[in-house]
Structure 1
Amino acid sequence: MKDPRTSALAIVLWAVALLCIAQPSLALPAAGAAGTGAVALAAVRLRTRRRASGLVVLTLLCAAAVGVVVAGAQPARAALTASDGRVVEAVVHVSSSASMGSDDRLWFDARAIALGAPGAPEAVDAAVRVGAPDIAGADMGARLRVVGQAKSTSPSEKAGLVIFGTTAEVVRPATGVFAIAAATRAGFVARATRLPEPGAGLLPGLAVGDTRAVSEELNAAMLASGLSHLTAVSGANCMVIVAAVFWLVSLAGGGRILRVVLALAALAAFVVLVTPEPSVVRAAVMAALAMLSILLGRPSAGLAMLSLTVSGLLVADPWFAASPGFALSAAATAALLVLSRPLLRGLGRWMPAPLALALSVPLAAQVVCGPVIALFSPQQSLVSVPANLIAEPAAPIATVIGLLACLAAFMPPVADLLAAAAWLPAAWIDRTATVSAALPAATVTVAPGPIAALTVGLLSAAIVIVVVTRRSRRLRAVSVGIIVIALAAAGGRMLVSGPLATLTAPAKWAIAACDVGQGDAVLLHSGRRVALVDTGPDPDALRDCLSQTGVARVDLLVLTHFDLDHVGGASAVVGKVGDVLHGPVTEDRERRMLHELAAAGATLHDASAGLSGALDGARWHVLWPDADPVVFPSGNDASVVVEIAGGGIPRTLLLGDLGAGSQRLLLASGRLRGRYDVVKVSHHGSRDQEPALYAAVRAAVALISVGEENDYGHPRPETLALLESDGTRALRTDRRGLILLGLDRDELLVWSTRAPPPG
């Protein structure tokens, strides 16, 4: 696996499995201490060595099995590489649930049975990941025909190819049990979403793991508050199903065999209903093994069950090791089995027993899952434990009653009544997530990766030691020191990014390229007025930029086009905007966004060439698109292009995501006149550029707004070479962070939050 984060996830999972396997052998010396004499001690040592040798052999056997599985998948993956970067037609079998992505596509895992050039796909058999337009019938078991651009993936991903679909059709709908499950889910989602917000969109996620009705704002709040696991069907849901069946069968007088058989059948039906995601598979297999052990009259310890489940699933499907959901599910289960009791005893020394009991479970999960989350997520929740403490009591109620409402679809009055009953706890969880995520310092931003994971892991270990350990004063003192240092660092960072944020930036900046990841957000400052061109993909990142630059209100907001990497952060400025210039509107999502801005007081304007205005002492002009575009009616090539100059702002050209074809038309229009001081490079520095335009602009500085990690290779080496050949200095947000430009006696000054790497 090339990505160190996915490699680290694999290490976490194997560590869980092997430590659980090793647990009995680690306990042997304590058991042997009761024996007498050297003979007993020698026997214990011999058994320990044998167990250790067995563990090594088992590890090697597992590694060999994984190698066989991975090697067997390589021919199919290799056959997909020829489609990289091409437009393809694929016939696929859907093999997972579908979730709505930030690009308004339905994303799901699938098995491709035909793939190739449009109109001539050839037979294949390989795992792919598909993003299709939002169509009905994209359910597990359905067969779809998708046309779109294909991109190869890294070896750490099970799907050898990602298809960004532009068109899709259902060739054959799901049949059998999958059709029944899809219809049942769809009926429940429709019934739930007829209820009022908050809570309506969240209820299907709590009951059956269907998150398509969860808004982007609520999804972000669930992540920030550490409650997103409630909409991921896992062990808790499986436990509820098994316990309910055991209880009902026992009430009817059924014996142990009947209870186990019916519970297994119910569990299998539940997995089909919610679709077999990695965390669901782990939980279901573990529950099935536990029930079989009960059937055999030999109940096993939870650690042994977890070990067998994780090891077996990783051997059967090694790509589970790169699944964050699977890793978090396994880690959280291990945490509850190993840490919850010690934490309960430790917390019980400082607080009442009921409160200690309530805190021990979310705290155990948080300290173990925190380092795993830091591998792939740029934020750590600081309100996770109290938010879970408040929301957790409502989760099983919403889950059980919601599931009953789903299953009662054949009795509409009963289903409506149950759905309404489940709505109240769902609304409670919704409000808990929203309120806790809005608290000051609810999250802390980290650079995801192994270093962040090690840092969070060290802090987590220090917290556990302080709570649990009583004897070693030196160890407790070191742990307290680590916690104090972490709190001081976090407090200092909050001050710098909060009340003292403006002290970290020069006062006379004119242009600010915000560090918002893979997206665009550029501030323009003249006198007492500010313009914002695009909002980036993340509201929190934009808020940080506004705070650091001391911007409280945006007088002019330009939405160049409606890709989410340019407008996803718009909620951060709702109610703070005067005028809005926007490009062509084609979708309901775009209309809803503009309506929200207008309802909060903004004045909307369709932007087209010839429109102009003032920003205090500066003048701005729209150069593109034409009023009635024919060639490029929407999308990247219809991006609003603005030039601005004067009032302390150097002459600047902002190109949105304009492609090479539209750049040529813009150049031919004669609207670009003279030299510019600054150009915002189109489309994050992609290779879709027109060299003649940049040669005509001859800018001194080029701003490239780009994420540190992106799958597109932005900025492209060809684009950087093009800028260099024109004598233009490229400034990139992925290397410099927030970039500020200003004028001092006609000299262009540059300031950034990070020093650029050498070379």
Structure 2
Amino acid sequence: MRARAPLPALAAWAAALVAIWLPGWPFAPVLWAAAVLALGAAIVFARRESRHPLDGWLPLLALCLSAAALVSTTVAVQAPQRQPVRLLAAAEDGRPVALSGMVLSMPQAQSSAFGFGDATRVRFALRVESAQESRAGPAVRLAVPVRAFAEPPAGSASLEIGTRVSFTARLVPNGPGEPDAFRAYGTGPLSLDASPPWYLAWAAELRAEFREAAASLPGAGGRLLPGLAIGDTSAVDEGLDQAMKTSSLSHLTAVSGANCVVVVAAVMLLGAAVRLRRGARVALALLVLVAFTVLVTPEPSVLRAGLMAFIVLIGLASGRPGGGVPALGLATLVLLALDPWLASSFGFALSASATAGLLLLTAPLATALGRWMPRPLALALALPLAAQLACQPVLIFLTPTVSLLGVPANLLAGPAAPAATLLGLLGCLLLPWLPSLGFAVIQIAWLPAAWIAAVAQTITGLPGARTPWLDGLLGALLLAGASALALWLLLRGAGRRRRMRTVPATLAALALIAGVGAYGGALLGTGVVRDWSRPADWQVALCDVGQGDAVLLRDGGQTALIDTGPEPAPLGACLDSLGVERIDLLVLTHYDRDHVGGLDALTGMVETALVGPSSGPRDERLLAPLRDAGVPVQMATRGRQGALGGLSWRVLWPATDDGPLSTGNPGSVVLAVEGGGIRSLFLADLGAESEAALQRLEPLGRVDVVKVAHHGSSDQDPALYRRLTAGVGLIGVGADNGYGHPTSALLGMLEESGTRAFRSDLHGLVLVAPRPAGGGGTLRVWSERRGD
């Protein structure tokens, strides 16, 4: 009976996904008709004297169909309002639109890759309430969910949930199944129209005080603490966020049912201590629960946890307390009925999956593991294992990898999480009234927060932290099937002492072994097993894109791409192989096809772009897709500089000292990058004359990595490579390219300067990682193939 409770919610979830991905289909009438038929059949069977096996299932089927029909009806009603015709037309024509609305999420800092005066952009959820295509045109009243990317308001004003803003933006429509209807790329800074209303303002002030106090604490612990205590991850940088995800600890920074349980339990215990009646205790707990939900921001996972706790409290007040599984099912169903697009929210899916795993799998797993280990250890292992088994098929859609160290990471970090959460929340509440005491409590909370961050960063750097897996729906289904089969084998003997039936168990075990063996063979055949030896901390990557350049730089969770190669497919394959989903800085050195032909592989991924000088309308047309998507595009000239994570970069060429900028190969962008223990120089397609001019302008010294100019052509200045004395030379070149690249003359220059050449035609993908800890030794270089 317990296992049937979530079925209506699952039916509603499936119906929501189908309805939002296939708009225009008449799902609602069909489902309502089926629900009525199932209900009628249930009534007929209930009136019969003889019992039938369907008697217990027909009412449940009718309920599931009704839930699916309700959600489908909501989609049919809301879908036309999400993407109005006027906004779609403006997006298609690339016309800017003046938008105004309410901020619905905490703004997250975006691309800081440009360090030469560009304002840092912020990303946030916005409910657009009015839109105006021109100053003279009428304002249209709307209620459209948008993901906004814009410059923050000038001055010291800060954005908080509930703030009303206005700005001019270019719109890009999302697919029908996306939680947000549009992406809005601002063309200027935001304007603040109104502060949050009073019922949200108190929480905004409290969060701001807590963020300020936590920011004064050192290291990753100070950045992580607001997320652990109140779910505010605005201070978590890309590097720490990626470490938390890789180590399967990101759930600790999302407010969940556990946080709500702690808050509600504390209130109920306090009420019992002062001898309040049950009704008064429940009413007080409900009030505190609402306030807590506002404080920790109403994200999808928070809404699910808060509504689930609300349902449990109402059950207690009525004297009929229910279990966690029915409360989870009802909370999920209610939220999907209100907003069916939550079904495609990964945050909502992970929150619900983790809770379901904990409720349904923890006790059986602890019992099964208890056969081989002490009960406390079995329970400690069962908790993270249940959550990971439930969440992993969903995570495959985000990144096609499986965490091998997630359970050990949770065992190490898990005990510290409640302490950081409770102490951090207590310190947050004390700050306005007793600032000194509140900050002292926050300082104590920093200790477990710093421990959790250290665990995440350590686990991320270990080999095997992530194992490649098939991506997409097939990969998720394969992993879910393998997990289900493994669970069945493990739990089958846990609930009874008699021996399992030999034949079915043996067949299941053989099927599991055969499936895993077949998949392992496929991995071996595609070289994925070799990928396990890749350095997890690589900083420079030379992609194998044929006769062309595509080089990645990475640090602190931020990624830059220098050129795109000649075709989208090889670049896309390289990015997928390395798990790169966002390009914080795209550098297009010049406009030859072998450097910009793969641009289509980056649709929707680029935050900012730095480009070489244009030679005319053709080059401008190549940049049009970036500008239409709202990507800031800046021209690279000598002296421009910026940061990428902990790396600093500077443009050395083209120069304006001797007149107009050159274009093509002589004017291609040269970038110097330093940080993380590596100094690199990327020479684009310079020839000997431009290289000599560069040396006259710039006092070049020794570097660790050089991206060899023009795919290894013979038009090179030997003095430049002698001056650089790089340890590693990267050459982007295609096999049998017809140009004779790299030439023997160039290879001789590298050999003379002590530079070891790594060529994409021979070595495939090449990764360069910093020297081992301590600073000694040489750079670590990994290549997909052994080369020559």
Q: TM-score range by the shorter chain?
A: 0.5 to 0.7
Answer yes or no: is 1:497 the counterpart of 2:531. yes
1:271–1:280 CA contact under 8 A, matched in 2:
yes
2:148 pairs, out of 113, 130, 133, with: 130
Residue in 1 aligned with 2:107? 98
Q: Check if 1:393 corresponds to 2:435.
A: no
Aligned-residue offset at 1:179:
1.3
Match of 1:115 among 125, 131, 134: 131
After TM superposition, give the deviation of residue 257 of structure 1 in Å: 0.9
Is 1:11 the equivalent of 2:34?
no
1:342 aligns with 2:361: no
Counterpart AA for 2:255 = V
The one-letter amino acid of 1:299's match is P
C-alpha separation between the residues in 2 aligned to 1:224 and 1:101?
21
Query: Which residue of the other structure, out of 156, 175, 178, is the alignment partner of 1:154?
Result: 175
Q: Does 1:177 align with 2:180?
A: no
Q: Deviation of residue 480 (structure 1)?
A: 3.8
Aligned-residue offset at 1:747: 4.6
Counterpart mapping for 1:314-713 below 5 A = 314-410=336-432, 411-446=434-469, 448-470=471-493, 471=500, 472-486=505-519, 493=527, 495-497=529-531, 513=550, 520-521=561-562, 590-591=642-643, 596-597=646-647, 606-609=652-655, 623=667, 642-644=684-686
Instruction: For residues 107-158 of structure 1, give each alpha carbon's deviation from its aligned partner in whole angstroms, at most 9, with x where no partner exists.
Output: 2222222212354561321222212223443211111111222111222234
Q: Is the 8 A contact 1:9 1:324 kept in 2?
A: no
Deviation, 1:611, is 9.9
Equivalent residue number for residue 784 of structure 2: none
Provide the rounded CA distance (Å) in 2 between the counterparts of 1:539 and 1:134.
Answer: 34
Q: Does 1:230 align with 2:252?
A: yes
CA change 1:622–1:425 in 2 (3 A) is farther
SS in 2 for 1:200: helix
User: Could you list the per-position Cα deviations for residues 197-223 of structure 1 after superposition, in whole angstroms to 9, with x for gaps in the alignment?
Assistant: 130000011111111111211111111
Query: Residue 194 and residue 626 in structure 1: after superposition, are their counterparts in 2 closer, same or farther (change >3 A)?
Result: closer
Q: Are 2:102 and 2:164, in contact at CA under 8 Å, matched by a contact in 1?
A: yes
1:721 is matched with which residue? none
Paired residue secondary structure (1:304)? helix
Q: 1:516 to 1:480 in 2, by over 3 A?
A: farther
Partner Cα distance (1:622, 1:350) in 2: 69
Q: Distance in 1 between matches of 2:639 and 2:478?
A: 45
Select the residue among 70, 81, 84 that pairs with 1:73. 81
2:171–2:182 contact (8 Å) kept in structure 1: yes
Tell me if structure 2 keeps the 8 A contact 1:462–1:480: no
Q: TM-score, normalised by structure 1?
A: 0.66
Mean CA deviation greater in 311-320 or 491-500: 491-500
Matches of 1:507 and 1:174 in 2, distance apart?
51
Give the stretch that moved more between structures: 507-516 or 369-378: 507-516
Deviations 1:731-758 (A, max 9, x none): xxxxxxx98515677456996979xxxx
| Counterpart secondary structure, 1:199 | helix
Mark the CA change 1:374 to 1:180 in structure 2 (over 3 Å): closer, same or farther. same
Q: Partner letter of residue 301 of structure 1?
A: G
**Structure 1: which 5+ residue stretches go unaligned?**
1-6, 16-38, 525-532, 544-561, 568-581, 613-619, 628-639, 653-675, 680-737, 755-759
Secondary structure of 2:175 counterpart: coil
SS in 1 for 2:176: coil
Code of the residue aligned with 1:88 in structure 2: it is: V
On the 8 A contact 2:99/2:132 being kept in 1, the answer is: yes
Q: What is the alpha-carbon distance in structure 1 between the residues aligned to residue 184 and residue 362 of structure 2?
A: 43
The count of corresponding residues between Structure 1 and Structure 2 is 569
Cα displacement (A) at 1:270:
0.9
Contact residue 130 and residue 140 of structure 2 kept, 8 A: yes
1:89 corresponds to: 98
Partner of 1:146, secondary structure, is: strand
| Stretch deviating more after TM superposition (271-280 or 374-383) | 374-383
Corresponding position of 2:53:
45
Q: Tell me, what secondary structure is at the counterpart of 1:198?
A: helix
User: C-alpha separation between the residues in 1 aligned to 2:479 and 2:60?
Assistant: 30
SS in structure 2 of the partner of residue 164 of structure 1: strand
Once residues 378 and 508 of structure 1 are traced to their aligned partners in structure 2, the CA distance between those partners, rounded to angstroms, is 22
Matched with 1:35 is none
Task: Please give the alpha-carbon distance, in whole angstroms, between the structure 2 residues aligned to 1:500 and 1:105.
Answer: 33
Please give the secondary structure, in 2, of the residue aligned with 1:459: helix
Distance in 1 (CA, whole Å) between partners of 2:472 and 2:125 is: 25
Counterpart check, 1:248 vs 2:270:
yes
Residue 80 of structure 1 deviates from its aligned partner by 2.1
Whole-angstrom distance in 1 between the partners of 2:732 and 2:215: 43
C-alpha separation between the residues in 1 aligned to 2:510 and 2:449?
A: 42
Residue 741 of structure 1 corresponds to which residue in structure 2?
A: 734
Residue correspondence of structure 1 range 193-272 to structure 2 within 5 A: 193-272=215-294
Asked if 1 retains the 8 angstrom alpha-carbon contact of 2:544 and 2:732, the reply is no
Which residue does 2:674 correspond to in 1?
none
Structure-2 residue corresponding to 1:730: none
- Secondary structure in 2 matching 1:741: coil
Question: What's the CA shift for 1:622?
Answer: 5.6
Cα pair 1:512 1:741 within 8 Å, conserved: no
Question: Aligned-pair distance for 1:314?
Answer: 0.7
Conserved in 1, the CA contact under 8 Å of 2:231 and 2:296?
yes
SS of the counterpart of 2:147? Answer: strand
Asked whether the 8 Å contact 1:80–1:161 carries over to 2, the reply is: no
> Is the 8 Å Cα contact of residues 151 and 161 (structure 1) preserved in structure 2?
yes
Distance 1:509 1:170, change over 3 A: closer
Deviation at 1:357, TM superposition (A): 0.5
- Alignment check: 8 A CA contact 2:669 2:684 kept: no
Match of 1:439, SS state, is coil
Q: Deviations over 1:258-292 (max 9, x none)?
A: 11111111110011112111111111111100110
Residues 439-481 of structure 1 deviation map (CA, whole Å, 9 limit, x = unaligned): 1021134464211211221232233234223322321332244
1:643 counterpart SS class: coil
Contact residue 105 and residue 126 of structure 2 kept, 8 A: yes
Distance verdict in 2 for CA 1:73–1:475, change over 3 Å:
same
Amino acid in the other structure paired with 1:86: R
Using a 3 Å threshold, how does the CA distance of structure 1 residues 59 and 130 change in structure 2: closer, same or farther? Answer: same
Kept in 2, the 8 Å contact 1:107–1:130? The answer is: yes
Name the Cα RMSD after superposition: 4.4
CA distance in 1, matches of 2:666, 2:737: 27
Once residues 125 and 229 of structure 1 are traced to their aligned partners in structure 2, the CA distance between those partners, rounded to angstroms, is: 34
SS of the equivalent of 2:160 reads coil
